[in-house]
């Protein structure tokens, strides 16, 4: 009897210990989950060929962008925000790697060649989603890729758990025009605009206007990943040509009489609706406070082509004057950045990678040397001065260069022979050439040091198709 009581006590104590252990384990697991959830969610919203003057927070009057402007009001506007190149693909290569794309030869818009393993973002380059995936993030790319069509370069092989969109440099917006069934069936860039959309490697029979479809997928991804850290790269192709909009959006702009500008405005408005749906979903799920949302365009607007407006800036897409490389750029992270902040020092899209990598924990470091800077200490006034002493641009084929100094002086070199110097703080429109040979010499010394770190382009670009085909035919067959 006595032994039985002892056994009962032992069993009872064992049960208590097991319950306590289970409780402790559960508590620890919850604690670890909370720790994981302290990592910020990250959303990069990238538009295509949007003019500097075509959002409310840069002064646009004829195209309301209330939702894009919410990002600016909730956080910081970079009044001197730049991208690393003046056309689509090289700019995206810089954004996705945090490195000047000239370091690894991605200095042209690539040809659309699905079976050429030499045309794409080199595998030596670590992408932002690859880094984030290593750090426990679920990653999704939506929309335009433009960083390689060959299988090894496709988004799901470069760090994205999920992808929805298209692989080339642009696309048509109306589903009835998606007449090419497979991405690999398109023979060139023009044909790629008519391919059906894909979800990873699977063809999608899309029914919605393209911009709406991309927004829908973004909201769905956020909903499905509300319990874990996520990275969403929402790369709209709007308002890139072709200019196509639905009556729903066109009806908002009866006041715009220029047909090109009217359709462009409708396309921007569709993007703004999508941004609003994304921000609303974050708010509904109580994720706003600890989600980094970054908005920018990939380059300046080609005003004559798509009806965009670069405001007071000189030049546009394809130019190293301000209109080609200075873009609308805003970022919110309510947990870390005060609302209604304005930051006036020059920053560049390369800073996005470093800022994110510096604020997600220390379990995995970037693979390569990065050219950006962690902007958060500057935005929180913990660090003074300018993030960059100099910023650099190069157009290899045209032999054009630009160098921007933190003081606001900017050198623009055309055809490696015409040297111009502008004081952007005095004239944002780059009209007056400043005569200061000593300053120019100083800029040239810095430019040569930077260029020594770069290489020539590693593949032919869109305007070099004939050369590419000629060399391909002349090459010995393997």
Residues marked active site are found at 88, 146
Tokens of 176: 């009835």
Distance (Å, whole) CA 67 – CA 56: 10
Q: How far is CA 127 from CA 6, 81, 170, in A?
A: 63, 21, 21
Beta-bridge partners for 311:
none
Q: Nearest 5 degrees, angle CA 344-CA 347-CA 351?
A: 145
Cβ count within 10 A of residue 252: 17
Asked if residue 230 lies in contact with residue 137, where contact means CB atoms within 8 angstroms, the answer is yes
Distance (Å, whole) CA 103 – CA 403: 16
What are the phi and psi torsion angles at 120 (to 5°)?
Answer: 165, 175
Closest to 414 measured CA to CA, from 399, 429, 424? 399
Cβ count within 10 A of residue 427: 13
Distance (Å, whole) CA 126 – CA 96: 8
The answer to whether the Cα torsion of 195, 199, 200, 203 is positive or negative is negative
Asked if residue 98 lies in contact with residue 92, where contact means CB atoms within 8 angstroms, the answer is no
Closest to 301 measured CA to CA, from 44, 82, 53, 46? 53
């Amino acid at each position: 009897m006595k032994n039985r009581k002892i056994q009962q006590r032992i069993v009872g104590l064992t049960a208590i210990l097991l319950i306590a252990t289970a409780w402790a384990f559960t508590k620890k697991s919850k604690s670890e989950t909370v720790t994981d959830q302290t990592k910020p969610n990250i959303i990069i919203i990238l538009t295509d060929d949007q003019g500097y003057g075509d959002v409310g927070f840069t002064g646009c009057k004829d195209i309301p962008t209330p939702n894009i402007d919410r990002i600016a009001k909730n956080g910081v506007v970079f009044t001197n925000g730049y991208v690393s190149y003046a056309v689509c693909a090289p700019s995206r290569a810089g954004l996705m790697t945090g490195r000047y794309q000239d370091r690894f030869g991605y200095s042209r818009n690539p040809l659309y060649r699905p079976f050429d393993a030499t045309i794409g973002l080199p595998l030596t380059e670590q992408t932002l989603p690859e880094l984030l995936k290593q750090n426990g993030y679920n990653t999704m790319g939506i929309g335009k890729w433009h960083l390689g069509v060959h299988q090894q370069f496709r988004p799901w092989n470069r760090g994205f758990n999920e992808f929805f969109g298209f692989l080339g440099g642009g696309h048509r917006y109306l589903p009835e025009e998606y007449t090419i069934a497979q991405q690999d069936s398109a023979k060139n860039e023009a044909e790629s605009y008519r391919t059906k959309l894909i979800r990873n490697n699977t063809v999608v029979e899309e029914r919605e206007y393209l911009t709406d479809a991309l927004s829908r997928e973004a909201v769905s991804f956020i909903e499905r990943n509300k319990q874990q850290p996520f990275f969403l790269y929402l790369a709209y192709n709007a308002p890139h040509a072709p200019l196509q909009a639905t009556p729903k959006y066109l009806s908002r702009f009866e006041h715009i009489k220029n047909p090109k500008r009217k359709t462009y405005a409708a396309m921007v408005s569709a993007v703004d609706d999508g941004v609003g749906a994304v921000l609303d979903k974050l708010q509904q799920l109580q994720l706003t406070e600890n989600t980094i949302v970054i908005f920018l365009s990939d380059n300046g607007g080609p005003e004559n082509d798509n009806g965009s407006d670069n405001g007071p800036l000189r030049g546009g897409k394809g130019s190293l004057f301000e209109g080609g490389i200075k873009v609308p750029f805003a970022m919110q992270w309510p947990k870390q950045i005060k609302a209604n902040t304005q930051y006036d020092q020059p920053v560049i899209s390369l800073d996005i990678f470093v800022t994110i990598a510096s604020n997600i924990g220390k379990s995995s470091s970037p693979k390569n040397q990065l050219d950006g800077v962690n902007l958060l200490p500057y935005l929180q006034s913990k660090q003074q001065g300018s993030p960059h002493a100099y910023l650099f641009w190069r157009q290899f084929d045209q032999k054009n260069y630009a160098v921007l100094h933190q003081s606001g002086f900017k050198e623009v070199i055309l055809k490696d022979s015409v040297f111009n110097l502008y004081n952007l703080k005095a004239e944002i429109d780059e009209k007056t050439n400043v005569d200061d040979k000593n300053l120019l010499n100083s800029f040239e010394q810095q430019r040569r040091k930077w260029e020594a770190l770069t290489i020539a382009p590693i593949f032919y670009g869109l305007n070099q198709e004939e050369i590419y085909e000629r060399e391909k035919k002349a090459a010995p067959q393997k």
